[in-house]
Amino acid sequence: DTEVTQTPKHLVMGMTNKKSLKCEQHMGHRAMYWYKQKAKKPPELMFVYSYEKLSINESVPSRFSPECPNSSLLNLHLHALQPEDSALYLCASSQDTSGTDQYFGPGTRLTVT
């Protein structure tokens, strides 16, 4: 099983709202990732968690706040977003961060109004 699940599938939020995106995997992977993808572009890395610790933050604005409550779950907390933050947000996982294969979830389509 190489399944990564994400909820919700779609999210519409205003610029003053607070919302969270959720990601879950049960493959025993110890590395989890958040990516942002704009239309017709490749995914852009935002954060990497390794063994539940934040390993990489690609200079993401603080209005995006990641959290890894345990080895199976990854959250992305959103607050005071801008319309240009509208995108497909993808979660991925891999065995670890030593170059192993990454498996992606179906994504959350976020629209900021």
Residues in touch with another protein (CB under 8 A)? 2, 4, 6, 31, 40-45, 48, 50, 55-56, 58, 88, 90, 92, 97-99, 101-107, 109
75/65 Cα distance (integer angstroms): 8
Q: How far is the CB of 92 from another protein (least distance, A)?
A: 8
Q: How far is the CB of 31 from another protein (least distance, A)?
A: 7
Q: What is the Cβ-side half-sphere exposure of residue 32, based on CA atoms within 13 angstroms?
A: 31
Tell me the closest approach of the beta carbon of residue 43 to another protein, in angstroms.
Answer: 6
Asked whether the beta carbons of 51 and 41 are under 8 A apart, the reply is: no
Query: In the complex with another protein, which residue's Cβ is closer, 12 or 56?
Result: 56
CA angle (1, 88, 22) in 5-degree steps: 55
Whether the CB-CB separation of 34 and 22 falls below 8 Å is answered with no
Beta carbon nearer to another protein, 58 or 69: 58
Q: Which amino acid is at 21?
A: L
Nearer to another protein, 80 or 95 (CB): 95
